[in-house]
Amino acid sequence: MIVVCYGRDIVRNTYDTLEASDIGSYLRAGMSVSIKPNLVVPCPARDGATTHPEVVEGIILFLKDFGVRKIKIIESSWVGDSTKRAYKFCGYEELSRKYDLPLIDLKSDSFSTYKYDGYSIGVCDEAMNTDFLLNVPVLKAHCQTRLTCCMKNLKGCIPDSEKRRFHTLGIHKPVAALNGIIKIGYNVVDGLCGDLSFEEGGHPVDANRIIAGRNPLLIDSYCAELIGYRPDEIGYIAYGKKLGLGEYYSGATEVVELNSEQKPTFDLRRDRASDRYAKLISEDSACSACYSSLIFALHRLDGKVRFEENARLDGKIHIGQGYKGITRDATGIGACTRGFTKSVPGCPPKATEIIKALS
């Protein structure tokens, strides 16, 4: 079952979405509930990268009316940024004061190791020691995986060292394995204005909707199609299906729509910027924060620079952990390419510095 609610009254619509859903089949009064938003960077939700605090407020109100009193908000921003800054700038400190809820920074949390599908993965204890994990991702694009939504949002439940390692392992399979380890109670997707270019935001698309459902793979396959991708085009979704983590959205899936008269009237399509720029990049185990800075820079410089002439050697811009310790007459992005003739420092580097270097 998938519930979709359209409209601009975010708190009310989130509450109504949960009320119309089957969450009551899984949730019990007296449970401890941890809410996991997407606060990848300290930017306001209107930029298209982070979960609206109003969505989380609607969830809190629903939980309290349901009889849940033990509620926490847990998160870990991406590598190189501060969760505490994200809580502050994204409006969650105010939410915490209003409802007397703890904000847990998973970067400071202990973790335990779990095995699944041949992977050993460290997972933060706060994410595992709750009765009910409520996953609240943003529906948006990702410069490496094309889509980030329910399944990939769980990367915020692992230590930074594991986030880096996921990229050396190829990102898709470990993300799927992580979803075999962490059991999500329910998913509430912020589909209000996600960035359809890449995950750091800046190019939001007003889609005006909340999406909710139990199974993260089912929801992700549905959301992939909303932005123009087949589920099989998203590696971690396809691999998760092979692992038996869920089924794809199909015509047989029950979809309940609320406020359908407020549907957006435009056609939502993916921005192919990341795919277009891929031919300019030689990537080897790059972290998302670093890679998206490069994509943002290329997006800003589109049409202004002839990259093939500036990138030296093989006509590529090099990025990723796979270039650590390598000396090369080429252009590199990030601290891992410090041995290159031309290298933009930083972990992650700022897009402004990349723009300056490439210009």
* pLDDT score of 343: 93
pLDDT in tens, 333-352: 999 999 999 999 988 787 77
Q: How far apart are the first and last CA of the chain?
A: 50
CA–CA gap between residue 20 and residue 174 (Å, rounded): 33
CA–CA gap between residue 138 and residue 90 (Å, rounded): 13
CA–CA gap between residue 269 and residue 225 (Å, rounded): 9
Phi, psi (deg, nearest 5) at residue 141: -80, 165
What's the rounded mean pLDDT across residues 203-215?
A: 89
What's the rounded mean pLDDT across residues 26-42?
A: 95
What's the rounded mean pLDDT across residues 172-189?
A: 97
279: pLDDT confidence band, cut at 50, 70 and 90? confident
Region of 12 on the Ramachandran plot (φ > 0 left; ψ -120 to 50 alpha; else beta):
alpha
198: pLDDT confidence band, cut at 50, 70 and 90? low
What's the rounded mean pLDDT across residues 129-136?
A: 98
**Rounded alpha-carbon distances, angstroms, from residue 336 to 89, 197, 219, 346, 359:** 29, 25, 35, 9, 21
What's the rounded mean pLDDT across residues 12-22?
A: 98
What's the rounded mean pLDDT across residues 242-263?
A: 92
Q: Which domains does the chain have, with CATH numbers?
A: 2-262 (3.40.50.11440), 273-358 (no CATH)
Average per-residue pLDDT for the chain? 89
User: Could you tell me where the beta strands, DSSP code E, fall in 137-258?
Assistant: 140-142, 146-148, 186-191, 209-213, 255-258
Burial of 115 (0-12, 13-18, 19+ CB in 10 A): exposed
pLDDT in tens, 49-65: 899 999 999 999 999 99
* pLDDT score of 133: 98
Question: What percentage of the chain reaches a pLDDT higher than 70?
Answer: 89
- Tokens linked to 124: 């933060």
**Rounded alpha-carbon distances, angstroms, from residue 80 to 92, 218, 251:** 20, 31, 42
Contact present, 145 and 165 (Cβ < 8 Å): no
3-class SS of residue 336 = helix
**What single DSSP character describes residue 137?**
-
**What single DSSP character describes residue 347?**
S
Global pTM exceeds 0.85: no
